[in-house]
A and B are shown apart, each in its own frame.
Chain A
């Protein structure tokens, strides 16, 4: 297993995409953190403690009005970890260097989690530095820990889903498309259909019912790890009560776990 991790370590270090993806995420975070911190610093109405940190750390995603952009960038590292193997015919070279497919797969999962979490952590650090630079109030320890943990876990799970998509499809382009489209379009379409059905029902304001489906949209549910308010709140009149951070995180974790289990089973069984 250690050998497989050594392989992954060198693989990541010697790949330009590792650097430019993390670079893009951090550059985006830096620019937007500075912009948001500057705006908030001049505002008399915007909360300056935890609220300001939440908004700057997630570049607005904590409001529920935007996706966690860095996750979409860093998530590509997960796609590439397996996608490159198939796109560039590396898989056979990899498996002749490390014949244990379990070790290869596990090393990719571990390296994806670590690099995604580290990249997300760097983005949080940039947000904190921006807060300090513009003289905003530091968040409370609890808020800092919750937001940091939520962002790191969501980003790591998001990247792992990218890894699983590319292992399932053995097609890097398809995996990138799935990673971008499932959270941002597929889930939105499901949401729209569910809302229409509920609105057209005899009791549109009743609790639960078909609206419970929305609680289990994996990426939306996982978003509760870092959102502090959400568009979902607007759906409360339709009887929708979303999970909290823990419940949402579990929903996304189970979804990603199922994707990984399926892709591992196929990885073990398929021809290389």
Chain B
């Protein structure tokens, strides 16, 4: 398995050039496109499919900040998202629960503008967390980075859920 960062010629760090990720992903995608392998041998076809599949996975992982952070940690031998570890700071969970309740109220009231406000608040919090994470990775504070990565997964999930609800209400 190739290193995901190396695959897209990106430095192995939390802050990445998103434009370069897009460009290099598309280049690999088009180079491994089945149309280019019509006359190739079966082995070459298979290799192209494997390249395309692993590029997809690598792209999805690096594009999402929480997954990118978890992947960086995994390269250091750290499992940030072990299923058996459910302990999170109480104030963090309390905040998550309050947001969830506010989202539920807004959804029941079909109040899209309230959902937009919540989404904005949570997105800003998520950005703060990402700035902090970036520093923690630079300083090699991997314990703090692990805690931050775990938080970021919740932040990304709650944002995805709000977007789904807004889409549902607007359709």
A binds B: no
Binding site for B on A (CB under 8 A): none
